Amino acid sequence: MNWKAGQDCLSLIKRSEGLHRQRSDGKIEAYADPVGIWTIGYGSIEHIDDKRAVQAGDVITVSDAERWLQVEVDEKAAAVNALCTVELTQSMFDALVSFAFNIGTEADGFKGSTLLKKLNRKDYEGAAREFDRWIHGGGQVLPGLVIRRNREEALFCRDGFPGNDVPIPDLSFPDSPWQEPKLPLHIHRTLVVGNTGQDCFLLNCALAKLGYLADGIQPGKYTVVTQGAVEWFQGDYDLTIDGKFGSRTKAALTTALTNVARRVPPPMLERVYCRLTRTGTTTYAELEKLLLEFIDPKGRVLAKLDVISGAPGAQEFRVPDDSLSFPGNLEPIPQARYTIGDIDFAGGKDNYTVAHTHPTNGIGPVWVPLIKTQLDDRDKFGFHMDWNRSGSPGSAGCVCVGTEAELRELVALLRRYDPRDLFVDWGIR
């Protein structure tokens, strides 16, 4: 079957690439990406109309960018159709086209990838785990690629895999202590109430891992309690709530377990999020005081903290693709959306005396990574305390509280609300 890229594919590419760089007159100009390749529009590196590489000074319209995107997506879709020799679903195809759009379809890209080799062996779950190997650019891990690969993998798994449901007889399996679920999940049939076997035990362990079942001894059967947990999980992941553990639910569960292992959940807006804005007032060392707010999905502010970002004399507020936004410039974190990672204590949980090792000794005991969802060439960002404020106040772009008491409050708020999105809004439009 010759598939065509669907709207999910186009939306994922647009979301990942962004439309850059838009001028004040509405036209789009070329820019150098994080590894120095001249790019325009939605990630185009080829000038479609002039049949050449994009170069400095190129300017196109928004409609050109949309047209070029469709041309390139169609080209990548044709290549993916030619290279894939196994049955796919629409969501798998859309994810693969986005992936190929980003890495190319030649031998050094999709054509030569282990992902394609596993896919063509019908090792669908193995292929899904290959996405996050393609997260490097210029010899470094690019956080924007981490986010993109998570989205592509989630789309690839979303609708389950072809031929993933085979007749397997029920076998007796004893109730046993919980075990860490390993991927791929060896569950190869649709499970319903009354089924028994090791696959039922593995499912119960996986559901307990994610908090849908209690810890401890797990049954080797699909009980009504298992069914309730599956229905709860299906509701959380926008699946059809039928209490049956089929291929689509398995694919979503696999993605959820993978994200837990990576410890950086995908961005969500159905939960509390953080917003960082300017106040126009100053605090210590003549740094501008910034406002970090915790906001619920209905827009209500639940809590707020005063913070800083950037170094004294260097608080120029910018967007990621500003040509003056470069590594080491000591300016505040650029205006963008970020994924909030997990709390990392240098000396173990709630130890506020041991500091993270850092060249400037400026991190302190707690580090919370802020993962970029838009590519730029600035340094890594995170939440932490301005640990050496007495001698060298400020930060190189990280978002910092000024005292240990404020750090403890920040940790308490992150634990209480568990936000995963930070929106930095400097008012730049």
- Cα 213 from Cα 126, distance rounded (Å): 27
pLDDT bin (cut points 50, 70, 90) of residue 326 is: low
- Cα 240 from Cα 224, distance rounded (Å): 18
Mean per-residue pLDDT over the chain, rounded: 88
pLDDT in tens, 23-62: 888 899 998 877 788 999 998 999 999 999 999 999 999 9
Do 257 and 279 lie in one domain? The reply is no
pLDDT bin (cut points 50, 70, 90) of residue 267 is: very low
Do 92 and 229 lie in one domain? The reply is no
Do 277 and 420 lie in one domain? The reply is yes
pLDDT in tens, 103-137: 999 999 999 999 999 999 988 888 988 998 898 87
Do 251 and 278 lie in one domain? The reply is no
Do 151 and 256 lie in one domain? The reply is no
Asked whether the beta carbons of 237 and 252 are under 8 A apart, the reply is yes
The CATH number of the domain holding residue 180 is: 1.10.101.10
H-type alpha helices, 130-185 = 143-157
Do 149 and 20 lie in one domain? The reply is yes
- Cα 394 from Cα 384, distance rounded (Å): 11
Do 140 and 226 lie in one domain? The reply is no
End of a domain among 111, 130, 157? 157
Asked whether the beta carbons of 76 and 105 are under 8 A apart, the reply is yes
Which residue range is the domain that position 306 belongs to? 273-425
Type and span of the H or E element at 11: helix 7-17
Percent of the chain with pLDDT over 90: 57
- Give the tokens for residue 296: 């619920």
pLDDT in tens, 143-202: 778 889 988 988 898 877 886 655 678 889 999 999 989 877 888 889 999 999 999 999
- Give the tokens for residue 387: 């640990």
Asked whether the beta carbons of 196 and 222 are under 8 A apart, the reply is yes
End of a domain among 157, 189, 215? 157
Asked whether the beta carbons of 294 and 414 are under 8 A apart, the reply is no
- 1 lies in a domain? no
- 267 lies in a domain? no
- 164 lies in a domain? no
Distance between the two ends of the chain, CA-based, in angstroms? 45
Do 418 and 278 lie in one domain? The reply is yes
- Cα 348 from Cα 21, distance rounded (Å): 43
- 248 lies in a domain? yes
Known catalytic residue at 17: yes
Do 151 and 47 lie in one domain? The reply is yes
Q: Choose between 18 and 59: higher pLDDT.
A: 59
Q: What is the pLDDT at residue 266?
A: 45
- 347 lies in a domain? yes
Q: What is the pLDDT at residue 186?
A: 84
Tokens 């890229």 belong to residue: 5
Query: 3-class DSSP state for residue 10?
Result: helix
Do 415 and 285 lie in one domain? The reply is yes
- 362 lies in a domain? yes
Question: Number of structural domains, the chain?
Answer: 3
Do 37 and 93 lie in one domain? The reply is yes
Do 183 and 150 lie in one domain? The reply is no
